[in-house]
Copies of this chain bind each other. A is one copy, B any other.
Amino acid sequence: MRVVTRRTGLTADVLRAWEKRYGAVEPERSPGGQRLYSDDDIERLTLLRRATDQGRNISQVVGLDRDELVALVAEDESAQVAADAPAASDEAARYLESGMAAVRGLDAGGLESLLRRAALDLGAPAAVDTVLTPLLREFGDAWHEGRLTPAHEHLGSAVIARVLAWMESAADVSRRAPAVVVATVAGQHHELGARLVAVTAVGEGWRVLFLGSDLPADAIAAAARQADARAVALSLIYPVDDRVLVQEVGRLRALLPSDVLLIAGGPGAERHAPELARAGVQILPDLPHLRVLLRSLHPGGS
């Protein structure tokens, strides 16, 4: 089945070889003898592919059951993430503290130059992971707990958005780099999450098409096709209406060419992880994971 090769990223030959040689999956057959894969088969094959992508060798992982595979893949992939995830330093802690102080004093200019300095000092990946993201989260928490007024929170978020835009524009990328479409669904915080994704992708040497929020699936798919994108990344934060969200993402998946990877992250993605994964969406827990994934799609990043 053609569908399966697209979904799993394996060639038809490999599919048959694995079945014949190791009995990796045993799909039903149509009356005429053609393979009919179930959703479980596809999931299993995808897991096997991810395991082999990490360097495992088929003959050794093919005997594992679903849960063991999930564990193995999670471990391998997170080991890889851990290998290059920027560690929180005490410098980062100092930036965080100064940043909070600047926000409390409504000192937008001070905050902006502080954050730009942090970005240059720590490097973009470390700054994003250990300063900007935590700061954003802290704004949100402090606001909910009444330690900051909405005005403070807005000011802080706006400055972070500006700094992210600066980082994104500072390093423009060759026209021939692979493209990724970054999109959101609606709302203002959404857009910040998407900006984080965009900066991360640019840092890995990708060409980024940043589509604002609130776009229907067709528009996103059309943009991806026109830009010849290799991937589409969605930032899902508020699950405004669960049903609609999952449905819309599913629709997008169907509209995209099947060799375009659809990636989702954020709380909204976590919550619906099972359905989304089954629909062929790659769920990522955080930016370091995204970084690793992008690198595996386009190693020549730097």
Contacts and interface: CB of A to CB of B under 8 A. Distances in A.
User: Which of A1, A116, A121, A205 has the most B CB atoms < 10 Å from its CB?
Assistant: A121
Interface residues of A, number: 44
A124 interface: yes
Nearest to A174: B110
B55 A120 contact: no
A98 B40 CA distance: 42
Contacts of A121: 123-125, 171, 203, 302
A35 to B, nearest CB: 12
A170 interface: yes
Interface stretch (A2-10, A209-217, A219-227, A235-243): A2-10
Given A94-B302, A172-B113, A1 B122 contact: no
12 contacts: A1-B55, A7-B79, A95-B302, A117-B173, A117-B202, A117-B302, A118-B302, A120-B203, A121-B123, A121-B203, A121-B302, A170-B170
A interface, over-half SS = helix
A79 B43 CA distance: 12
Nearest to A42: B79
Contacts of A60: 30, 36
As for how many copies of this chain the complex holds, the number is 2
Contacts of A1: 55, 57
Contact of A119 (B2, B98, B120): B120
Interface in A84-109: 91, 94-95, 98
A113 B55 contact: no
A32 to B, nearest CB: 9
A166 B1 CA distance: 43
Interface of A: 1-3, 6-7, 30, 36, 54-57, 60, 76, 79-80, 83, 91, 94-95, 98, 110, 113, 116-126, 166-167, 170-174, 202-203, 205, 302
Nearest to A86: B123
A3 B120 contact: no
